[in-house]
């Protein structure tokens, strides 16, 4: 059975330098660069990812040694745990991402609100 994986594309990426990015790097193992299909939008100081066929999103893949515990903390951070009122800004779901070794399924946080009027990050790389 393969380990649980998490694809991060914004403020959870190691290069972002935020508190939660540091925490994630301390509890999970970076498995390398990965890309997902979709669009990336500037929400505030962080981005939102909308899966789709139009575009490529650059991020990192993490192996989660204790997926349930790590994802519970991240669900709180992303305010998508069940106790947060709707409409939530993000939802956690599995997406297919491409790595140097091929395609894998990974958890990610998908932007769940309307993107009309938001600036699209054309490069697909929030840190680039």
The reply to whether 127 falls in a domain is: no
The reply to whether 69 falls in a domain is: yes
How many separate domains does the chain show?
1
Contact 4, 63 (CB under 8 A): yes
What is the average pLDDT score of the chain? 95
The reply to whether 124 falls in a domain is: no
The reply to whether 103 falls in a domain is: yes
The reply to whether 57 falls in a domain is: yes
CATH number of the domain at 92, please: 3.10.490.10
* Residue 87: domain span: 4-115
Q: What is the pLDDT of residues 48-104, one digit of tens each?
A: 999 998 999 999 999 999 999 999 999 999 999 999 999 999 999 999 999 999 999
From residue 23, alpha-carbon distances to 26, 36, 88, 99, 117 in Å are: 5, 23, 23, 23, 32
The reply to whether 120 falls in a domain is: no
The reply to whether 126 falls in a domain is: no
């Amino acid at each position: 059975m393969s380990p649980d994986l998490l694809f991060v594309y914004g403020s959870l990426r190691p290069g972002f330098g935020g508190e939660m990015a540091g925490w994630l790097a301390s509890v999970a193992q970076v498995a390398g660069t990965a890309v997902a299909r979709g669009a990336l939008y500037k929400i505030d100081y962080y981005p939102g990812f909308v899966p789709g066929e139009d575009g490529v999103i650059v991020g990192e893949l993490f192996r989660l040694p204790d997926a349930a515990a790590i994802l519970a903390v991240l669900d709180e951070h992303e305010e998508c745990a069940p106790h947060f009122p709707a409409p939530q800004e993000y939802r956690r779901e599995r997406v297919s991402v491409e790595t140097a070794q091929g395609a894998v399924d990974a958890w990610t946080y998908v932007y769940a609100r309307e993107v009309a009027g938001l600036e699209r990050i054309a490069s697909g790389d929030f840190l680039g």
